[in-house]
């Protein structure tokens, strides 16, 4: 049975992951990590479910990972990098759902992946990753005469914008169109902007309430609009996708993978 540790154990995503692991037939909860000073430290990781798992939430990475095969991490970039260093020491594989990494931080993750197996994706939802494949097909077919806009909405607590998923969508679109996203992305419009440059890919971010995550890519042409959307009503889809990623890593010893690898939809990048 694969032993899974969860980072951010007392957070919304952490609790969803713990519940999903405990409900699975082939996974066991091997560790639960949280920030030093968290009110949840020392509590049973399943206390919020009204049950006991025998795993206590702790802040010390080394004992927290000692019984795990895979760590699932949806925290913050700095925390994830510290967790990966500990995973490397203990030969623990990692599933990373954290977003907002800088290019230098991504390089650090790639370095760790030479020693341990890592699945990293801005969105672990199976549905979102199918949408990414659809966007590749659509962008290639609608390469001229259509303006492309990426619109995303998330809850008020999200700290990065655009979302990692929106940026991944932009990367897929730009690659399909033979463009460099760094050169063609437009992240804000205000005042007299002039006519829209047809070679650009626009982004709009909405923050409010408890929106789990909505993403829409609009292809706007003359006389018609095509919209490809994904809307999350709960974090359950992220949790189930993360468990699939953990299972995928069971037979890997090193390397950096994406959800397209997990789902068997990989195409050369």
3-state helix, strand, coil split of the chain in percent (to 5) is 35, 25, 40
Output the CA–CA distances (angstroms, integers) from residue 4 to 17, 70, 82, 229, 252, in the order listed.
10, 5, 18, 31, 15
From first to last of its 269 residues, the chain has per-residue pLDDT tens of 999 999 999 999 999 999 999 999 999 999 999 999 899 999 999 999 999 999 999 999 999 999 899 999 999 999 999 999 999 999 999 999 998 899 999 999 999 999 999 999 988 999 999 999 999 999 999 999 999 999 999 999 999 999 989 999 999 999 999 999 999 999 989 999 999 999 999 999 999 999 999 999 999 999 999 999 999 998 888 999 999 999 999 999 999 999 999 999 865 54
What is the CB neighbour count within 10 angstroms for residue 190?
A: 5
Whether the Cβ atoms of residue 168 and residue 221 lie closer than 8 Å to each other: no
Helix, strand or coil for residue 207? strand
Q: Which residues are catalytic?
A: 154, 158
Q: Considering only the top CATH level, what class is 2-120+235-262?
A: alpha beta
> To the nearest 10°, the Cα dihedral for 208, 212, 217, 222?
-50
Task: Domain ranges for the chain, please list them.
Answer: 2-120+235-262, 126-232
Cα-based distances in Å from 201 to 101, 108, 122, 177 = 21, 28, 19, 11
Residue 72 bridge partners (DSSP): 6, 95
Tokens of 8: 């951010």
pLDDT computed for residue 140 by the predictor:
97
Structure tokens at 69: 């095969």
Name, in order, each residue with C-beta under 8 angstroms of 209's C-beta and a sequence gap of 6 or more: 155, 156
What is the CATH code for 126-232? 3.30.360.10
* pTM of model > 0.75: yes
Q: What is the DSSP string of 17-60?
A: HHHHHHH-SSEEEEEEE--TT-TTTTSBTTGGGTS--S-BEES-
What angle do the packed helices 236-249 and 126-141 form, to 10 degrees?
A: 90
């Amino acid at each position: 049975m694969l032993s899974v540790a969860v980072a951010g154990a007392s957070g919304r995503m952490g609790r969803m992951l713990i519940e999903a692991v405990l409900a699975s037939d082939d996974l066991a909860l091997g560790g639960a990590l949280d920030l030093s000073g968290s009110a949840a430290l020392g509590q049973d990781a399943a206390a919020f479910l009204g049950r006991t798992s025998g795993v206590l939430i702790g802040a010390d990475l080394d004992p927290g990972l000692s019984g795990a095969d895979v760590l699932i991490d949806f925290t913050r970039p700095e925390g994830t990098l510290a967790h990966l260093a500990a995973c490397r020491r203990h030969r623990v594989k990692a599933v990373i759902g954290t977003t907002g990494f800088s290019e230098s931080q991504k390089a650090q993750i790639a370095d760790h992946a030479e020693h341990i197996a890592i699945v990293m994706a801005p969105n672990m939802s199976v549905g979102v990753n199918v949408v990414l494949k659809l966007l590749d097909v659509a962008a290639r077919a609608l390469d001229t005469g259509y303006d492309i806009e990426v619109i995303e909405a998330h809850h008020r607590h999200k700290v990065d914008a655009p979302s990692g998923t929106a940026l991944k969508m932009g990367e897929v679109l730009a690659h399909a169109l033979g463009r460099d996203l760094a050169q063609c992305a437009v992240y804000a419009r205000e005042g007299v902007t002039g006519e829209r440059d047809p070679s650009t890919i626009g982004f709009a971010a909405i923050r409010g309430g408890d929106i789990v995550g909505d993403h829409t890519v609009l292809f706007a042409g003359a006389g018609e609009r095509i919209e490809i959307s994904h809307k999350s009503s709960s974090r359950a889809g992220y949790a189930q996708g993360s468990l699939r990623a953990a299972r995928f890593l069971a037979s890997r010893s090193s390397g950096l993978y994406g959800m397209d690898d997990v789902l068997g939809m990989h195409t050369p990048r």
